[in-house]
Structure 1
Amino acid sequence: MMTKAEVTQGRPIRSKGFAPTLSDSEVLTMEIVAEYQGIDTDQAIWQYFRRHWLAWFPGLRSRCAFVRQAANLWQYKAMLQHHLATRLGALNEPVHLVDGIPIPLCGFSRAPSCRSFKGVAAYGYCAAKKQTYYGFHGHLLISATGVITQFSLSPANGSEREALWEMVHSIHGLLVGDKGYLSTPLQHELRQVGIQLETALRANMHDSRPPAWVALLKRLRRLIETVIGQLVERFSIEKVWARDQWHLTSRINRKLLAHTVCRWLNRFSPNPLQFEQLVAA
């Protein structure tokens, strides 16, 4: 499919220290397979493969070594995910969709006493769930074929419009968003870089667009809702289970990579987002 040099761009993964007993490809394989099965914490992944697949991964030793090696691969998970998305042609597609994912750090009642991510996490409001929460806000960009092309993480009170600029540098054409991206100045600015932003309107606004066009936008919106549903339900992206940005970044990148690998393996299927078909009973 691709070589290690292609993914790492010729840069060494580690420059000092002893070589790990597990290869990096073994660690990535374990993480992706576990994520597909709904096993999403570092400890649970280590326990699962120690209990069931140690003969296949004899280099799997201590839990701490596994967790550290997996976290050290955070940037290579992102690079591999980007490489797969590029190979799938997602970046060159003329239609993309954007939406947000609330990622609470803890229960709302525990927020005042939460010590993790001080100065990074914040209070925010999720319109879909009609509730205030404490934590982060994920910003997801996908192609019209359901391939993840960009992801950005901000405090829960971060601006969706500012985060959008971090993600659209490599796309062009139609961009479909929800009401959070509704802004005439933003539409004009995006148009200058070859992006046509279309969003849902508020209930008290008159929509002069053709009904057929509005209906098409609604159908497109269902696609990103499907992808977000998969990230939440199968890959548990809303659960933090980390105490620092290093491990949180690695954890999120693992989930985005696992979703993209599933999409890659399913690329010839009539329903490429039906991941249940990847494993026969």
Structure 2
Amino acid sequence: MITNFEDFCTWAFVIIDDLWKELSPAFTRTGPQPACSDSELITLAVVGECKGWDQETELISNWRNYQYLFPHIPERSRFNRRRRNLMGAINSIRQSLLALLDLAQDQQTVLDSLPLPVIEFRQAHFSPARSYWSSQGARYGKVATKKQTIFGYKLQLLVTFNGVIVDFELAGANQPDLRVGLELLENHPGLTVVGDKAYISQSEQQHLEQEQGIKLLTNPRQNQKVEQPAERAKLINHFRQIIETVNGQLAQQFKLEINRAHSFWGLCSRLYSKLAGHTLSIYLNRLLGKPDCLKIKALAFPI
């Protein structure tokens, strides 16, 4: 039973440390072992994202209040550097959690994208950082659901009907959702996938079903003369709400749409930590018998 933040930290560290013992041989390191172990640092990063501590100064400052749990808190720049070096390991831990999570095996999924701006739109044209981010694939792109233009990326998410993020892909904000979504689905044959109108393409839907056994379901546009049973349209809209809930968690609790990174790899390390935190929260909800795995904030302590 988790009754407070300290309990959550303990559960998180034990799970991450056990997984890290199996994964660590694939991630070689040079030099002496640091006082703050890799599994401890990964726990600091992942749990910190669950708490919404998305700035290193805030994260390190807050963790110093819990040195009875983690005695060796690294200095800010060292923490940032080690987290970047361990981002592949953090993603591997997320994937290991998915393998243990029965909810992640659901063959019914939802596909959607989430905006990831890296520079505020009004400042992007004049910002000296724009050339760097452009060299890393950041682009101007429209976000139809929010009726805005951003400079950055879109995060394509594949989410089960139970709210588990099973896969993702990062692409420039100018890339069509359909194109990126099709790339994401290449590694997931046999799924039933619900998408919004950005994924409408009769030819691609037929190709997916014939070649990969994937059923991509969308409601038709208003100008399309396609008959669809009202119950099916209602069902698609119902399951679309699942990914809206997940998107809301990532944006509000994990602050995914706020960029604190100064480099592409810094952005990726933060992204991996946030998604690992989301998966870990659902895994703990499931492990502890929480009935609604989407309600991550009700995990047993006020995040």
TM bin (shorter chain):
over 0.9
Query: Is 2:20–2:93's contact at 8 Å kept on the other side of the alignment?
Result: no
Matched residue, 1:133: 150
Matched residue, 1:249: 268
Identical aligned pairs, as a percentage?
31
* 1:266-277 to 2 correspondences below 5 Å: 266-267=285-286, 268-277=289-298
Matched residue, 2:126: 113
Structure-2 change in CA distance of 1:92 and 1:61 (3 Å): closer
Query: 2: CA distance between counterparts of 1:90 and 1:223?
Result: 14
Query: 1: CA distance between counterparts of 2:71 and 2:239?
Result: 46
- SS at 1:266 equivalent: helix
Query: 1: CA distance between counterparts of 2:248 and 2:225?
Result: 30
Shift of 1:170: 2.8
Shift of 1:166: 3.3
The superposition leaves residues 111-132 of structure 1 with CA deviations (integer Å, 9 ceiling, x where unpaired) of 1123141322110001011111
Matched residue, 2:111: 98
Query: 1: CA distance between counterparts of 2:21 and 2:79?
Result: 23
* 1:203-242 to 2 correspondences below 5 Å: 203-242=222-261
Query: Is 2:261–2:267's contact at 8 Å kept on the other side of the alignment?
Result: yes
Structure-2 change in CA distance of 1:278 and 1:92 (3 Å): closer
* 1:168-187 to 2 correspondences below 5 Å: 168=185, 169-187=187-205
Matched residue, 2:42: 28
Structure-2 change in CA distance of 1:132 and 1:231 (3 Å): same
Q: Which runs of 5+ in 1 are unaligned?
A: none
Shift of 1:75: 0.6
TM-score, normalised to structure 1, is 0.93
Query: 2: CA distance between counterparts of 1:202 and 1:69?
Result: 47
- SS at 2:119 equivalent: coil
Matching residue's letter, 1:182? I
Query: 2: CA distance between counterparts of 1:171 and 1:193?
Result: 5
The superposition leaves residues 184-214 of structure 1 with CA deviations (integer Å, 9 ceiling, x where unpaired) of 1210221110100011221222341221111
- SS at 1:251 equivalent: helix
Cα RMSD of the aligned pairs, angstroms, is 1.7
Structure-2 change in CA distance of 1:206 and 1:86 (3 Å): farther
Shift of 1:5: 4.4
Q: Which moved more, 1:53-62 or 1:122-131?
A: 53-62
- SS at 2:221 equivalent: coil
Query: 2: CA distance between counterparts of 1:182 and 1:55?
Result: 54
Structure-2 change in CA distance of 1:237 and 1:71 (3 Å): same
Matched residue, 1:148: 165
Shift of 1:233: 0.4
TM-score, normalised to structure 2, is 0.86
1:200 and 2:219 are equivalent in the alignment: yes
Structure-2 change in CA distance of 1:161 and 1:22 (3 Å): same
Query: Is 1:91–1:170's contact at 8 Å kept on the other side of the alignment?
Result: no
Structure-2 change in CA distance of 1:86 and 1:206 (3 Å): farther
Query: 1: CA distance between counterparts of 2:108 and 2:28?
Result: 38
Query: 2: CA distance between counterparts of 1:197 and 1:112?
Result: 38
Q: Which moved more, 1:112-121 or 1:190-199?
A: 112-121
Query: Is 1:117–1:243's contact at 8 Å kept on the other side of the alignment?
Result: no
Matched residue, 2:102: 89
Matching residue's letter, 1:144? F
Structure-2 change in CA distance of 1:143 and 1:171 (3 Å): farther
Query: 2: CA distance between counterparts of 1:274 and 1:30?
Result: 22
Query: 1: CA distance between counterparts of 2:89 and 2:183?
Result: 19
- SS at 1:59 equivalent: coil
Query: Is 1:92–1:171's contact at 8 Å kept on the other side of the alignment?
Result: no
Shift of 1:219: 0.7
Q: How many residues align?
A: 278
- SS at 1:202 equivalent: coil
Matched residue, 1:61: 74
Matched residue, 1:122: 139
Q: Which runs of 5+ in 2 are unaligned?
A: 1-14
Query: 2: CA distance between counterparts of 1:57 and 1:6?
Result: 22
Structure number with higher helix proportion = 2
